[in-house]
């Protein structure tokens, strides 16, 4: 199969020329694919193209979408979670998170995840495989189709570890920027942190994208190495102090501040002493901390920190000079945790 998702306008013009068509036919294909109001997914439904051209493309194995909708959940706050099936019968999740002025797409980069973070539902079944560019981009189209709105922001915070699929990740970002017309500054790449990969990310971004303007978010979730290792098994391979040093290098090379995701787990990492420890770890560094309420899942013993304790934790960080915000949880009434919809479907 030859998926057209991720192909540039020039690429599609060349496809048209290869079939003896005028170059503008390639532009028509491009406009058709990325029009969020277009609910059709098949080559033979691109009715602006001549019938014989459509037939030849389809006969030669070209397609637009390899994914299919398996299930969906609409939360009371408007958050839409989709469960999509791949051609090899795997399942991935993506989420549309709406506000009045924006629609954020939370995308998966892999089927499953190898990191096995103890608080996450996705890692319970391990990694199946990484996603192709077309499978990453198709998640955006499904969200736009289902919600009938243009996606404005992208976060790679769904299933998988993006930096373990770095080539497809960066090609996806290029297409998101050039084809979906979403600025890099509205894209966030979230990673649990993999040794040597933060440096590789900045270097390859300049090679593939010409610059590095997206936000890097580190799933830190702890203020010291010992605590981090108890909730993130892979942390034993990457000392927290080394993560911070690599992030400082990333800031120097890109000029972009780093965000640190901090999931508040009751009795584990939410004490005021942890806030002071985190402040000392990050002081004098161009960064921002996102405090996150935990979406509880049945398989693990972690509990959500009370809102009062989160606010005390936040105040301590602010008083210590750390830029911090509290991320409002969305979709809590509908399989909110990453991987839950997929797991429930399997059950």
Q: Catalytic residues, which ones?
A: 93, 338
Residues 6+ apart with CB under 8 A from 235: 193, 222, 225, 228, 229
Would you call 60 helix, strand, or coil by DSSP? coil
Token readout for 15 is 């496809």
Radius of gyration of the chain (CA): 21
Token readout for 335 is 């399989």
83 bridge partner residues: 71, 93
Q: Where do the DSSP E strands lie in the chain?
A: 2-3, 62-63, 68-74, 80-85, 91-98, 103-106, 110-112, 127-130, 153-156, 187-191, 215-219, 258-264, 287-293, 324-327
Cα distance between residue 74 and residue 328, in whole Å? 17
Nearest CA among 34, 46, 43, 66 for reference residue 145: 34
For tokens 């405090």, what's the residue?
A: 291
For tokens 């750390």, what's the residue?
A: 322
**Cα 223 from chain centre:** 24
Would you call 47 helix, strand, or coil by DSSP? coil
Nearest CA among 209, 116, 222 for reference residue 160: 116
| Residue 275 phi, psi dihedral angles, 5° rounding | -60, -40
Pairing mode, if any, of strands 287-293 and 258-264? parallel
**Cα 86 from chain centre:** 17
Token readout for 22 is 């005028």
For residues 143 and 105, the answer to whether their CB atoms sit within 8 Å is yes
């Amino acid at each position: 199969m030859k998926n057209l998702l991720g192909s540039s306008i020039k690429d599609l013009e060349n496809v048209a020329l290869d079939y003896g068509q005028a170059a503008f036919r390639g532009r028509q294909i491009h406009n058709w694919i990325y029009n969020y109001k277009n609910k059709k997914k098949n080559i033979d439904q691109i009715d602006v193209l001549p019938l014989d051209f459509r037939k030849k493309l389809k006969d030669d194995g070209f397609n637009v979408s390899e994914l299919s909708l398996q299930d969906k959940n609409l939360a009371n706050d408007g958050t839409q979670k989709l469960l999509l099936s791949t051609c090899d019968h795997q399942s991935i999740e993506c989420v549309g998170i709406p506000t009045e002025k924006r629609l954020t797409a939370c995308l998966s980069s892999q089927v499953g995840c190898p990191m096995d973070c103890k608080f996450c539902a996705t890692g319970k079944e391990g990694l199946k495989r990484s996603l192709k560019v077309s499978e990453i981009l198709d998640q955006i189209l499904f969200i736009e189709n289902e919600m009938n709105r243009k996606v404005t922001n992208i976060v790679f915070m769904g299933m998988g570890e993006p930096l373990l699929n770095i080539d497809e990740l960066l090609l996806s970002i290029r297409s998101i920027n050039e084809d979906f017309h979403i600025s890099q500054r509205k894209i966030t790449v979230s990673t649990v942190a993999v040794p040597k990969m933060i440096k590789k990310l900045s270097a390859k971004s300049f090679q593939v994208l010409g610059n590095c303007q997206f936000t890097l978010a580190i799933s830190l979730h702890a203020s010291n190495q010992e605590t981090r290792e108890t909730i993130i098994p892979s942390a034993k391979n990457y000392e927290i102090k080394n993560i911070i040093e690599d992030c400082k290098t990333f800031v120097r090379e890109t000029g972009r501040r780093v965000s640190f995701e901090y999931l508040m787990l009751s009795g584990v990492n939410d004490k005021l002493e942890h806030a002071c420890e985190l402040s000392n770890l990050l002081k004098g560094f161009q960064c921002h901390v996102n405090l996150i309420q935990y979406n509880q899942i049945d398989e693990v013993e972690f509990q959500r920190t009370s809102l009062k304790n989160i606010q005390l934790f936040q105040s301590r960080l602010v008083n210590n000079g750390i830029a911090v915000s509290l991320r409002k949880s969305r979709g809590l009434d509908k399989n909110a945790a990453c991987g839950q919809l997929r797991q429930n479907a399997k059950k």
